[in-house]
Structure 1
Amino acid sequence: MSNGDDDPADASEEVDADDAAAADEPEATAPTLPDEATEESLTEYLDEIEAALEDAETEADLDDVEALLADAEDALTDADLPDPDEDDEDADDPRGELEDRIAELREGVEDARGPYAEDVVEAIETAASTLEDTEWTADGHEDAAEAVRTFIAAAADAVDVEAVEEDADAADAILDEVAETDADDAAADETDETTDAGGAAGAVPVAELVAALDAVADEIGGAGLDPDDDAETIAALLEAADALESDLEDAEEWDDLETHEQLRAQGYYDVLGHYKDYPVEWAALKEHEAQGNVDMILLALDSLQSEFMERHCLEAFERMGKRGKTEASLEELLGRAGKRDQFAIRILGKMAAEEAVETLLEYVDEDSNPQLQKATFKALGEIGATDAVGPLAAKLEMENDHVRPLAARALGLIGDTRAIDPLADALAGDASDDVRAAAGWALRQIGTREALEAAAEYADERSFIVQTEAEKAKAALDAAATPA
């Protein structure tokens, strides 16, 4: 410690001495591959490589270490080392131990590399995917948007790229404008505020937030950041990206809410005033059915995992018929029909959903499942599926006399004249009066003169139900022949 009386000249001489000593120190030499590759020489060589790895400061230094490890690996391959005794589990395995050491050092090289600009870009892209794939609540959407703004601002501070700074300014402007709009809307009329798919009214669409992140990622990826020269900048960007990921994880999404909270937040209960039905979900469902709110019925079907509510949601669609047919409800019901759900098939018939015909035709020949066939035949008839005329006509000859009448009735509902001959054959020769009566009914539904004449031939039939259909066909012919 100096007492204040030290001579400056003495201090200068000490510095010169230190510099001279440093100059006299020998420079570190690179590891030298041993002339003879033995366990001992290779171990010593790997020790030197490990020391070189610890001293590495740049990507070039790490490249040199990797090259040394490649040399070590080649030397080990050519080395004449003893094989372990297979009968002794505890026997030494020098080759295996050296291979493990090389692998460990390679991992050390990879851990020491970077970080790179590519790592930042990957983190941003991951965040953008999270933003796009998550269903946010209104509050969660707002927090996610703020997380994006915070990240872009941090990126603009970290990297001196004008385009990133412009992205930050644009993000600020958009979010500020939305905040002002929301404040004005709330002041004007809170009850009129609506919620879009992205979250709160006026919220920045997720697509715009994702586009902003993509733009920043492109600018960072093209900024030419060097892992050595720009290490601090890249580290700052990674820290900002990690914060973005953390903020998105903390933002509220629909899955974080209880089911009744989700329904309440999405306005499911808003239709309720005074009600007497319990549970309240059922009461609300009835109101949504009356008002034709298909999306709300689908919301209940998806959210309320009880057989009671599932049945009532599907029954609501069945009662609504064509009124309940939307792209979303079709998607739901076609998915169920694809799993042989007879209730869904029945509803698709009530909706006259032509989109279901291809799926339903696959079930026409399911003779081992007559209940599925009955639902399918009726649905095809209600849809008016002309593509089903041939397959259904063929079913007039199937063995099950409980299913054959459904095939005949379906042909009548479709009303295609190609069904007249097979229906007339069934009326003439089927052993079941139920089938014959159904064929007569179907011919009356087709309603052409040929069809009515085919049915009217049996007006004197011994079977009352067949005779009834024939008499109605004869009356229709007589009415058509009588001048107005």
Structure 2
Amino acid sequence: MSNGDDEPADASEEVDTDDAAAADEPEATAPTLPDEPTEESLTEYLEEIEAALDDAETEADLDDVEALLDDAEEALSDADLPEPDEDDEDADDPRGELEDRIAELREGVEDARGPYAEDVVEAIETAASTLEDTEWTADGRADAADAVETFVDAAAEAVDDAVEADAIETDPDAADADDGADANADTDGESDAAADRIAVLVDALDAVAAGIGDADLDPDDDAETIAALLEATDALEDGLEDAEEWDDLETHEQLRAQGYYDVLGHYKDYPVEWAALKEHEARGNVDMILLALDSLQSEFMERHCLEAFERMGKRGKTEDSVEELLGRAGKRDEFAIRILGKMAAEEAVETLLEYVDEDSNPQLQKATFKALGEIGSADAVGPLAEKLEMENDHVRPLAARALGLIGDTRAIDPLADALAEDDSDDVRAAAGWALRQIGTREALEAVAEYADERSFIIQTEAEKAQATLDAAATPA
């Protein structure tokens, strides 16, 4: 301001227009708690508190409003108010209505608070978890990287030096280098590259969250900064939401991206998934068969995938395939049990032994006995030997043959007893066959003595045992 003579105006003459305006405004009167609270006076008091809430501009103002509500709640508890008529559902309840009004105002206080820097950090941590927990496509990872980089730049601009704008390297080639890779890729290098890329993005978000925490933002003084950060986190969330996940793809698109169809040239079998399955079986690509089994939710493809494992036998045995089949075997899946036997999967013995005594389910027992025999489990000798005396003469032969496949000499005596005493020729013949498989002199002699047996199938086993003994006795 000038006084006309280019002389500085006297300081005493300077007037702060803002202060003058403020001086003209009447001071707000704090709500006054009624001396003798009644329904009317408490209602009026709460209306004054509502006005104070509407005028609140800072966290301190909101603290004052909350203190007033505490006073109102205490006054209400001491107030002598009429009680509603219990027999009249429509009767007024002054105390209940006032309690509801206080609760509503408390919610208003909470809604008016913040936002806080902690809200921003929490949103960033949620985004980091989304990055780690989501299975992205290659395009999805690139889009996620763009969203994170944009967020880092926005956060750096909002908080100045509290966040480094170069918290993440902007390297588009790194996002595209692992094209086609995902958590199920059968190339370890591709999977590692994808995981490394996600780790870089997560580290970037962690760095931003730490920078915001260190900035010590005040919800009043830094309200604009916090609002800008929350806007940036909203954009980050939208960016991650729009980025492509594997679950967004159709099944055939997922399989194509993971190389399932790469083995196909000219093919005659349809559907093409079956044609590819046959080629993967021929090449021993266990991971691809498991991929088809998991992805192609049809009974047709499930059956063919399992049949492929059955034909492959030990070639199809990997840690992952055994885990898949054990999960099915744990649900009494006889097909899976049969396959575990073909794989000679020792890992299945503990599960299979639980089914040995399932006398009410002979089909399950048959599959179990054969699988234990093919696995060659010594732990199964005792339980299987006991089954040589079970009632079902359709299952007893399977127990005998399983003991023969295992080949443990501890089974000689129970098998010899079955050969001598069982009422079923099928069981006796199976016991004779099992003794021949064990193949010791004692076992062979136990069979050979039945060469004159009336039953042809038993006589045949005895003759084969005798021939083996004769061959062993003949000098070379």
The normalised TM-score by structure 2 is: 0.90
Question: In the alignment, residue 316 of structure 1 is paired with which amino acid?
Answer: A
**Matched residue of 1:61: which SS?**
helix
Aligned to 2:364: 372
Question: In the alignment, residue 321 of structure 2 is paired with which amino acid?
Answer: S
| Structure 1 contact 350–382 (Cα < 8 Å) conserved | yes
Map of 1:69-468 to 2, 5 A cutoff? 69-162=69-162, 164-165=163-164, 168-173=165-170, 175-176=171-172, 178=174, 182=177, 195-197=181-183, 205-468=197-460
Structure 1 CA distance for aligned equivalents of residues 97 and 340 of structure 2: 68
**Matched residue of 2:168: which SS?**
helix
Structure 2 CA distance for aligned equivalents of residues 416 and 442 of structure 1: 10
| Structure 1 contact 159–233 (Cα < 8 Å) conserved | yes
Question: In the alignment, residue 300 of structure 2 is paired with which amino acid?
Answer: F
Cα distance change of structure 1 residues 441 and 244 upon mapping to structure 2, 3 Å threshold: same
Deviations 1:92-134 (A, max 9, x none): 1111111111111111111111111221122112112222222
Which 5+ residue runs of structure 1 have no aligned equivalent? 1-8, 186-192
Structure 1 CA distance for aligned equivalents of residues 244 and 252 of structure 2: 16
Deviates more, 1:153-162 or 1:316-325: 153-162
Structure 1 CA distance for aligned equivalents of residues 240 and 92 of structure 2: 51
Q: CA deviation at 1:23?
A: 2.0
Structure 2 CA distance for aligned equivalents of residues 232 and 17 of structure 1: 26
Deviates more, 1:231-240 or 1:204-213: 204-213
Cα distance change of structure 1 residues 397 and 16 upon mapping to structure 2, 3 Å threshold: closer
Aligned to 1:52: 52
**Matched residue of 1:32: which SS?**
coil
Structure 2 CA distance for aligned equivalents of residues 452 and 212 of structure 1: 74
Cα distance change of structure 1 residues 216 and 18 upon mapping to structure 2, 3 Å threshold: closer
Cα distance change of structure 1 residues 428 and 108 upon mapping to structure 2, 3 Å threshold: same
Q: CA deviation at 1:290?
A: 0.7
Q: CA deviation at 1:247?
A: 0.8
Aligned to 2:32: 32
Structure 1 CA distance for aligned equivalents of residues 437 and 213 of structure 2: 70
Structure 1 CA distance for aligned equivalents of residues 453 and 261 of structure 2: 59
Deviates more, 1:37-46 or 1:20-29: 20-29
Cα distance change of structure 1 residues 264 and 24 upon mapping to structure 2, 3 Å threshold: closer
Question: In the alignment, residue 52 of structure 1 is paired with which amino acid?
Answer: A
| Structure 2 contact 49–69 (Cα < 8 Å) conserved | yes
The RMSD of aligned alpha carbons is 2.6
Cα distance change of structure 1 residues 74 and 249 upon mapping to structure 2, 3 Å threshold: same
Cα distance change of structure 1 residues 170 and 479 upon mapping to structure 2, 3 Å threshold: farther
Cα distance change of structure 1 residues 455 and 301 upon mapping to structure 2, 3 Å threshold: same
| Structure 2 contact 277–289 (Cα < 8 Å) conserved | yes
**Matched residue of 2:169: which SS?**
helix
Q: CA deviation at 1:388?
A: 1.7
Structure 2 CA distance for aligned equivalents of residues 308 and 431 of structure 1: 43
Aligned to 1:190: none
Aligned to 1:4: none
Question: In the alignment, residue 296 of structure 2 is paired with which amino acid?
Answer: L
Question: In the alignment, residue 197 of structure 1 is paired with which amino acid?
Answer: A
Aligned to 1:189: none
**Matched residue of 1:85: which SS?**
coil
Q: CA deviation at 1:421?
A: 2.0
Structure 1 CA distance for aligned equivalents of residues 150 and 443 of structure 2: 76
Aligned to 2:3: none
Q: CA deviation at 1:170?
A: 4.4
Q: CA deviation at 1:223?
A: 3.1
Structure 1 CA distance for aligned equivalents of residues 109 and 206 of structure 2: 31
The normalised TM-score by structure 1 is: 0.88
Aligned to 1:188: none
Question: In the alignment, residue 315 of structure 2 is paired with which amino acid?
Answer: R
Cα distance change of structure 1 residues 474 and 222 upon mapping to structure 2, 3 Å threshold: farther
Question: In the alignment, residue 83 of structure 2 is paired with which amino acid?
Answer: D
- The answer to whether structure 1 residue 478 and structure 2 residue 470 are counterparts is yes
Cα distance change of structure 1 residues 444 and 45 upon mapping to structure 2, 3 Å threshold: same
Question: In the alignment, residue 320 of structure 2 is paired with which amino acid?
Answer: A
Q: CA deviation at 1:18?
A: 8.6
Question: In the alignment, residue 341 of structure 1 is paired with which amino acid?
Answer: D
Deviations 1:416-440 (A, max 9, x none): 2222222222122111111111111
Structure 1 CA distance for aligned equivalents of residues 116 and 238 of structure 2: 20
| Structure 1 contact 124–217 (Cα < 8 Å) conserved | yes
Question: In the alignment, residue 151 of structure 1 is paired with which amino acid?
Answer: F
Aligned-pair identity in percent equals 87
**Matched residue of 1:205: which SS?**
helix
Deviations 1:234-279 (A, max 9, x none): 2222111111111111111122122222222222111111111111
Structure 1 CA distance for aligned equivalents of residues 463 and 214 of structure 2: 85
Which 5+ residue runs of structure 2 have no aligned equivalent? 1-8
Deviations 1:44-65 (A, max 9, x none): 1211211121122222222222
